[in-house]
Amino acid sequence: MNEELKKKYWERYLRLKHKGVKFYPDVVYKDLVVSFALFLLLVGLAAFVGVKPEPPVDPNDTSYIPRPEWYFLFLFEFLKFIPGELEWVGATVIPGLAILVLLLLPFLDKNPHRHWSKRKVGTGVMTAIVLAMVGLTIRAVVTTPPQEEGPVALSLPEQIALGQELYSIHCAECHGPDGEGGEIQGVEGLEGVVLKPINSQDEMYTRSDQTLYNIIAYGQQDLGMPPFGRAYGGELGPAEIKAIVTFMRYTWDDRVELPAEAQGGGMPTLGPDEVPSYEEHVEPLVKRYCVSCHRPGKKNNNYLMTSYDEVMHSGDHAPVIIPGDPDNSILIQLIQRHELDFSRPMPPTKALPDDVVDIFVRWVAAGAPQTAAEADQIEAQQGGGAAPATPQP
């Protein structure tokens, strides 16, 4: 830009400035309004949308689909179009050049005009680039497969509940539902092995969280315990193992106090005339006492118990449950310790507590309702226990 043009610019600018407004309060006012709107927006987002919970780092989780923050997505997507051997051009040379051009823009652009209509090439190119960035971002979002994520337990009660559930699935089979140990029955390769309790004071006082974590992750293969950590060929990620350790610590260690909000969690309670439902009462019991063996890949006469459908309909001897007829339901017969020709009593090692058996019996007697709403309906029809009553006095 030559001196003459510079002079013309300043003359014009000073004239406009003279006709203009005071920075304070006119411009400051506008800035404040926008800032305030942003402030409300941020507080609103923090309060009503929050920050999405994520599981902790697990380098061994190969199912995780990595994605950058949304403002890098366009670049991420752009790399899909670059052939392998030229990847470095797309990944570093092109973005690097773009930044360099932006930096030097005032020196590269010799056009003295400022209005967009007199700079059609420049503004056109920029518009095309911005549209391409927006397009690539949208494409990246649309083509990203949904993330398969396990449960993320954040608060302590949630972690304990998750740990309890995972313990029942993965550990209860050998160590018993309450860590009491004893003789293993019905587990391939470990039949008859006697385990010491893992819920004792000795055990809890002498094993740190880290030790328990390592035992679960790595197993104790000389003693027959397989590894459970994904890193060693098991199924569990770090967050899940941590949840199991937390559950053990807060349930069996008498030095730590269970937080009030976690107390009584997990195990359902049932009023004397209440009709139990699968979702509210039976499912937690099934998870705690049965799923450990009654899931795919275990020896269980193909009777699976991971969902309501499976509980009702699966198995070599289906139906295992006859709604309304507890006495002829195989499930009830077995948990009441009857020996059948195709199965010993269940669970194999230790009888269920009476109140647990009672919940199962009353549930089947009432017609094995799935949801709490269905159970309420049955309760209303019975009018307080007139029809098929509980088998107990």
Partner 1 sequence: MSSHNPHDLSRRDFLKVVGSFVGSVMGLGLGLPLVSYFVSPALEVQGGDKWIPAGPLENYPIGQPTLFTFTLTKKHGWEKTSQSYGVYIIRHSDTDITVFSNVCTHLACRVRWHDDQEQFICPCHDAHFAESGEVLSGPAPRPLDQYEYKIEDGTLYIHLVEG
Partner 2 sequence: MTDKPSRMQALYAWLDERLGLSTIYKVVLDRKVPKVNWWYTLGSATLFLFTMQVITGIFLTVYYVPTPDHAYDSVNYIMQDVSFGWLVRGIHHWGASFMVLFVFLHMLRVFYMGAYKYPRELTWVIGVLLFVLTLGMGFTGYLLPWNQRAYWATTVGTQIAGTPPIIGPWITRILRGGEEISALTLSRFFSLHIWMIPALMALLIAVHLYLVIRIGISNPPSKDE
State yes or no: residue 36 binds partner 1 (CB under 8 A). Answer: yes
State yes or no: residue 29 binds partner 1 (CB under 8 A). Answer: yes
For residue 36, give the amino acid letter: F
Helix (H) or strand (E) holding 377: helix 372-382
Structure tokens at 27: 């411009």
32-40, 67-75, 367-375, 378-386 -> range binding partner 1 (CB under 8 A)? 32-40
State yes or no: residue 208 binds partner 2 (CB under 8 A). Answer: no
2-10, 182-190, 264-272, 358-366 -> range binding partner 2 (CB under 8 A)? 2-10
Q: Are 234 and 228 in contact (CB under 8 A)?
A: yes
Q: Are 168 and 291 in contact (CB under 8 A)?
A: yes
DSSP 112-145: ---SGGG-HHHHHHHHHHHHHHHHHHHHHHHHSP
20-28, 48-56, 117-125, 280-288 -> range binding partner 1 (CB under 8 A)? 20-28
Report long-range pairs for 313-318 (Cβ below 8 Å, ≥24 apart): 316/342, 317/342, 317/343
State the nearest-atom distance from the C-beta of 198 to partner 2, in Å: 24
- Given the complex with partner 2, which of 246 and 333 has the nearer CB atom? 246
Looking at 4, 81, 83, 113, which residue binds partner 2 (CB under 8 A)?
113
State yes or no: residue 39 binds partner 1 (CB under 8 A). Answer: yes
> Taking CA 22 as the corner, what is the angle to CA 16 and CA 28, rounded to the nearest 5 degrees?
120
Hey, which residues between 157 and 216 contact partner 1 (CB under 8 A)?
Answer: 209
State yes or no: residue 34 binds partner 2 (CB under 8 A). Answer: yes
42-50, 163-171, 333-341, 355-363 -> range binding partner 2 (CB under 8 A)? 42-50
Structure tokens at 338: 């009857």
State yes or no: residue 35 binds partner 1 (CB under 8 A). Answer: yes
State yes or no: residue 342 binds partner 2 (CB under 8 A). Answer: no
Cα gap 362→378, rounded to integer Å: 12
State yes or no: residue 255 binds partner 1 (CB under 8 A). Answer: yes
Q: Are 214 and 227 in contact (CB under 8 A)?
A: no
Cα gap 52→45, rounded to integer Å: 11
Helix (H) or strand (E) holding 309: helix 308-313
Cα gap 243→245, rounded to integer Å: 5
State yes or no: residue 88 binds partner 2 (CB under 8 A). Answer: yes
State yes or no: residue 25 binds partner 1 (CB under 8 A). Answer: yes
Q: Which does 309 bind (CB under 5 to 8 A by kind): partner 2, partner 1, none?
A: none
Q: Which does 256 bind (CB under 5 to 8 A by kind): partner 1, partner 2, none?
A: partner 1
Site for partner 1, rule CB under 8 A? 25-26, 28-29, 32-33, 35-36, 39, 43, 209, 255-256
